[in-house]
């Protein structure tokens, strides 16, 4: 090389910076990656870029976790509500049904809720995997064959609606519950949490 260092005009350059192409002397090589050499400016730039990428990845990861945590909290809340509501009606239920029947109702309701919440969680997981929400529940069951989309109480399918950047998941219209899971971008909204009883 017959060039001089960009930063030391009195020294011979030995390489070019891979990014900005500046001729560099030995002292001005800030970083070497195989046969690529970088000046200090470009190395700082790359470090900053990497750092920002990492921060962005961490942010996305945190948002995903928050979304799943919210769904879980929502599910536990509904289950608590269910148990509370059924306990309140315990006297009535004991008069009306033998005890076993009451246990069955609680179990059925909780199972139904767990299924509902699991479905919501899997829609979020689908988006993590494929970058978008499915167009319909059939698409989801193709990706995750173990997912069941039928409500055990009404024996009807849960209602899924893709909307804007998110979705709305509802209990079957003929079911006894009125909750809706509404997910928009990275926010979850829960509608009509209280059952009309
Ligand atoms: Zn450079
Ligand atoms: Zn130099």
Ligand lying closest to the C-alpha of residue 12: 2
Percent of the residues in the chain that have a pLDDT greater than 90, as a whole number: 25
Mark whether 21 and 60 lie in a shared domain. Answer: no
Mark whether 111 and 16 lie in a shared domain. Answer: no
- Structural domain span for residue 89: 51-191
Mark whether 130 and 166 lie in a shared domain. Answer: yes
The predicted pLDDT at position 20 comes to 96
Report residue 46's pLDDT band, with 50, 70 and 90 as the boundaries: confident
The predicted pLDDT at position 79 comes to 79
User: 69-116, pLDDT tens digit by residue?
Assistant: 888 888 788 878 777 776 766 655 555 555 566 666 667 777 777 888
Residue 184 located in a structural domain? yes
Distance 17 CA to ligand 1 centre (A): 5
Residues near ligand 1 ion, CB 5 Å cutoff = 17, 19-20, 39, 42
The predicted pLDDT at position 186 comes to 54
Distance 57 CA to ligand 1 centre (A): 26
The predicted pLDDT at position 197 comes to 37
Mark whether 57 and 15 lie in a shared domain. Answer: no
The predicted pLDDT at position 185 comes to 57
Mark whether 27 and 76 lie in a shared domain. Answer: no
Sequence-ordered list of residues with C-beta below 8 angstroms from that of 158, at least 6 positions apart, any chain = 116, 119, 137, 149, 150, 151, 169, 170, 171, 172
Joined together, the tokens standing for residue 27 give 């002292």
Mark whether 76 and 141 lie in a shared domain. Answer: yes
Distance 17 CA to ligand 2 centre (A): 11
Write down the pTM of the prediction.
Answer: 0.50
The predicted pLDDT at position 7 comes to 95
Residue 197 located in a structural domain? no
Is-contact 49 165, C-beta < 8 A? no
- Region 11-34: mean pLDDT is 94
Mark whether 181 and 127 lie in a shared domain. Answer: yes
More confident call, 180 vs 58 = 58
Q: Does position 38 have pLDDT exceeding 90, yes or no? A: yes
Ligand lying closest to the C-alpha of residue 17: 1
Rg of the chain, C-alpha, whole Å? 29
């Amino acid at each position: 090389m017959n060039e001089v260092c960009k930063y030391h005009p009195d020294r011979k350059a030995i390489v070019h910076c891979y990014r900005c192409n500046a001729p560099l002397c030995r002292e001005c090589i800030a970083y070497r990656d195989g046969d690529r050499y970088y000046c200090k400016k470009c190395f700082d730039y790359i470090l900053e870029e990497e750092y920002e990428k990492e921060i962005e990845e961490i942010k996305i990861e945190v948002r995903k976790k928050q979304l799943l945590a919210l769904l879980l909290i929502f599910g536990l809340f509904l289950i608590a509500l269910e148990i509370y509501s059924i306990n309140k009606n315990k006297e009535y239920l004991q008069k009306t049904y033998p005890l076993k029947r009451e246990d069955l109702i609680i179990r059925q309701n909780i199972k139904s809720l767990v299924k509902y919440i699991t479905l919501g969680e899997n829609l979020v997981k689908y988006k993590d995997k494929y970058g978008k929400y499915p167009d319909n529940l059939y698409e989801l069951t193709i990706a995750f064959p173990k997912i069941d989309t039928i409500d055990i109480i009404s024996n009807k399918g849960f209602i899924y609606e893709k909307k804007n950047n998110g979705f709305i998941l509802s209990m079957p219209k003929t079911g006894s519950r009125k909750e809706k899971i509404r997910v928009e971008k990275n926010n979850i909204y829960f509608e009509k949490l209280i059952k009309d009883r």
